[in-house]
Amino acid sequence: MSKNDITGFPEWSPEECLVEGRILDQIRKTFETFGYTRIETRSVEPISELVRGGETEKEIYVVKRLHDDDGDESSRLGLHFDLTIPFARYAVQNLNTLSFPFKRYQIQKVWRGERPQEGRFREFYQADLDVIGRGQLSLWFDAELPLLLYETLERLPFPKVKICLNNRKIVEGFYRGLGLDNIAEVLRRIDKLDKLGERKVFDLLTEIGVSKEAATKCLEFSKIESHDETFLSSVESFGIKTPLLEEGLSEIRAVWSLLRDIPKEQKSINLRIARGLDYYTGTVYEGFFLEDSKLGAVCSGGRYDHLATLKSGEKLPGVGVSIGLTRILGRLFSQKKLPTVQKTPTQVLISLMNEESRLEALSTAKKLRARGIPTEIFHEPLKLGKQIEYASKKGIPYVWFSEGSKHEVKDIRSGEQKPASIETWQPSSE
């Protein structure tokens, strides 16, 4: 990370930025091979919409012109804190020109005024995938998203991920079977299990009126995790049956059966996955690095059937996942798990013998660039040692020398220098 005097607003070093750029390219590419199309929305939304979307008011960044007065409440603007709310709004506003189901990806910065701490930032990239349907949305997409998520993360230089699934209907059906009715409250507390531990969550549950017996059962239920369909017998062992629970089980089995391309050890059904946000209604996901579960979820999402509703009452149900890119990079950079070798994309530096040779150097550079080779021309005819030192400091692997029509290239890692042709020379990938 670079030096920067505003806490929570991270900036990477050039080496890190280069890696981040390559990763963004790769993510976009994978998203697009699945037919998800690029969307960007404005950075601001009315604060009233943001609050409705479930963010606590105190974490919202208000935006206004320096000398504007506040205006009325409904027109006040805040920076978006996720990309789901803006996307649902975009879909509603452009209903008649969009084709449904509408599959999009959206990679943008979001802002949350959280207390800055390790791994929590106030400004960060999210890479989101969502599908929104009109009126209805096939359960198939609940399976496609973890498949695409797996594919995306596998192609990146990241540790292996494990994608965990649950379904809100299972959990809510179970809680109702226990006689509970403040479901959202219970879910929010169960969602804190990883952070607070069992005992504390037990207390939090009994504090809101859940009986000790029910709280124990909620905690036991949340321990069910399975890499195959054996979770069904674990659920049955509780002896609770409600229509909603049955519906959830049927959905999760259908989704699970389509995830064959994800290796067994990288997926699970995990009934602890609750997700804090209120708007999820069915499948929910969280992904973790197998070797670094302490980092918490690196991606998450779920099905939201009621987030967007038209004036006619028609629903636009959706399902989506989000990759917490900045969070992941922050961790991997600080653990030195992502190789950061070069400070520049440049592959070859054309050395400059004297001022007169500059037009010749320009012509050589032009030809190499036309073949896709990132090329710099050294800016002044300094001593060759100085020019090689510049390349070395920036991690540029090759230096090019010309004398008339004779060209040579030095690999400054090995020190080897060889004749080279402008038309055919290639940097080695090593």
Footprint of a second copy on residues 133-192 (CB under 8 A)?
A: 138, 140-141, 144, 147, 151
Q: What is the DSSP letter of 114?
A: P
Q: Is 109 in the site for a second copy (CB under 8 A)?
A: yes
Between 173 and 301, CB nearer to a second copy:
301
Whether 136 contacts 172, CB under 8 Å:
no
Query: Does 123 help bind a second copy (rule: CB under 8 A)?
Result: yes
Judged by beta carbon, residue 37 or residue 426, the one nearer a second copy is: 37
Judged by CB under 8 A, which of 23, 27, 53, 61 binds a second copy? 61
Contact region with a second copy (CB under 8 A), list: 233-241, 286-294, 314-322, 371-379: 371-379
The site string for a second copy over 73-92 (x = CB under 8 A, - otherwise) reads ----xxx----------x--
DSSP 115: P
- Residues 272 to 301: which contact a second copy by CB under 8 A? none
Please pick, from the candidates 44, 183, 232, 240, the single residue that binds a second copy as defined by CB under 8 A: 44
Identify the residue among 183, 193, 232, 373 touching a second copy (CB under 8 A). Answer: 373
User: Does 311 sit near a second copy (CB under 8 A)?
Assistant: no
Shortest approach of a second copy to residue 183 CB, angstroms?
Answer: 28
What are the residue ranges of helices labelled H in 222-305? 231-236, 243-256
Give Rg (Cα) of the chain: 27
* 318 contacts a second copy (rule: CB under 8 A): no
The verdict on 11 binding a second copy (CB under 8 A) reads yes
CB under 8 A: which stretch of 165-173, 299-307, 333-341, 368-376 binds a second copy? 368-376
Give the nearer residue to a second copy in terms of CB position, either 25 or 228. 25
Which one among 26, 54, 62, 188 touches a second copy, defined by CB under 8 A? Answer: 62
Among 18, 161, 316, 321, binds a second copy (CB under 8 A): 18
- Provide the 3-class DSSP secondary structure of residue 412: coil
| DSSP state letters, 297-333 | -SEEEEEEEEEEE-TTS-EEEEEEEEE-HHHHHHHHH
CB burial of 75-114 (b: ≥16 within 10 Å; e: otherwise) equals ebbbbbbbbbbbbbbbbbeeeeebeebbbbbbbbbbbbbe
* Site for a second copy contains 357 (CB under 8 A): no
Q: Per CB under 8 A, does 369 bind a second copy? A: yes
243 binds a second copy (CB under 8 A): no
198 binds a second copy (CB under 8 A): no
48, 52, 94, 223: residue in contact with a second copy (rule CB under 8 A): 94
42 is an interface residue for a second copy by CB under 8 A: yes
| Two structure tokens written together for 398 | 């090759």
Answer whether 60's CB lies under 8 Å from 45's CB. no
Question: H/E element holding 214?
Answer: helix 212-221
Q: Which stretch binds a second copy (CB under 8 A): 38-46, 212-220, 223-231, 277-285?
A: 38-46
| E-only strand ranges, 90-240 | 102-111, 123-132, 161-167, 225-226
What is the spatial distance between Cα 390 and Cα 380, in angstroms, rounded to a whole number? 12
* DSSP label at residue 259: -
Closest CA to 53 of 110, 94, 134, 104: 110
Token pair of 178 as six digits: 């226990």
Residue 310 near a second copy by CB under 8 A: no
d(CA 129, CA 34): 11
Region of 30-38, 205-213, 230-238, 298-306 interacting with a second copy (CB under 8 A): 30-38
Dig out the tokens for 304 from the structure: 């939201």
Does position 325 interact with a second copy (CB under 8 A)? The reply is: no
